[in-house]
Amino acid sequence: MKITDASVCPYPAGDSTLARMALEAVELGFDSLVALGEEDSQSRGLEVLRGVVISAASQKEVIRQVRKPTVRAADVVFVNAGDISFNRAVVSVKEVHVVRNIHATRRNAFDHVAARSAADHGTAVDISLAPIIQYRGRRRQRALQRYADILTLQRRYGFPLTISSGARSILEQRSVRETRGLCALFGMTGAEVSEALSSIGRLVEPARPVRVVG
């Protein structure tokens, strides 16, 4: 069972290099991480997966984008969540591994229909720690409520969850222990956190060979 940070944004998108973030991840208790937009996966002692994010307005556009060589070369394909009809449709696209930015959607944009379809197709929903860490006041409470709603649906329908720091520098990375504490704020148990942290490996295997760099 590999413990994975489901997305970080290394330099040049972020402020820290992939090598530095990989070293930090090891110290924080992780076995692997997903680097968004990163093609050079050189690091030390950590498995690095390449992630790509699709932003689209329709399922048709998502299908068009997943056919691009840069997307096909990625280990993990994310799609930014949208409105209710978009989310219901996109979870059925077989090339999509994870729906992300669910905290930024309107309440009920991911409903029981999307949840059931995600479970049927093995598509995950990402829980990003960034809003919990960075937001304040009502905005933070809305993010926590959205995650609580997703957790309720996940417990009923059984679709996968992933957990990501969304870190753009080593200062924003969090340990496994801190992750459990943050996820407890919206009701996630320790066992559920462990399951979500290990889900990336199940999403991408056996589609690709294991690649350990370092």
**What mean pLDDT do residues 68-96 have?**
96
pLDDT band for position 44 (50/70/90)?
A: low
Q: CA separation (Å) from 122 to 98, 102, 119, 150, 178?
A: 9, 17, 5, 15, 27
Reported for 37-41, long-range contacts at CB under 8 A and 24+ positions apart, including other chains, are 37/9, 37/13, 38/10, 41/211, 41/213
What digits encode the pLDDT tens for the residues 7-27? Answer: 999 999 899 999 999 999 999
CA dist., res. 167 & res. 157, Å (int): 29
pLDDT in tens, 57-71: 999 999 999 999 999
Say what the pLDDT of residue 212 is. Answer: 44
The predicted pLDDT at position 1 comes to: 79
Q: How far apart are CA 75 and CA 65, in angstroms?
A: 15
The confidence band for 205, taking pLDDT boundaries of 50, 70 and 90, is confident
Residue among 3, 38, 47, 15 at smallest CA distance from 167: 15
Residue 203 has pLDDT above 60, yes or no: yes
| Per-residue pLDDT reduced to its tens digit, 90-126 | 999 999 999 999 999 999 999 999 999 999 999 999 9
**Segments in 1-83 forming alpha helices (H):** 18-27, 59-66, 69-72
What pLDDT, on the 0 to 100 scale, is given for residue 41?
56
**Global confidence as pTM:** 0.92
Give CA–CA dist 194/16, Å, rounded.
Answer: 26
Residue type at position 66: V
Q: Is the pLDDT of residue 149 over 90?
A: yes
CATH class of 4-204: alpha beta
Whether the link from the prior residue into 206 is cis, omega within 30° of 0, is: yes
Confidence band, pLDDT 50/70/90 cuts, at residue 211:
very low
Distances from the Cα of 171 to the Cα of 14, 24, 51, 91, 136, angstroms: 11, 9, 21, 32, 18
pLDDT at 145 over 70: yes
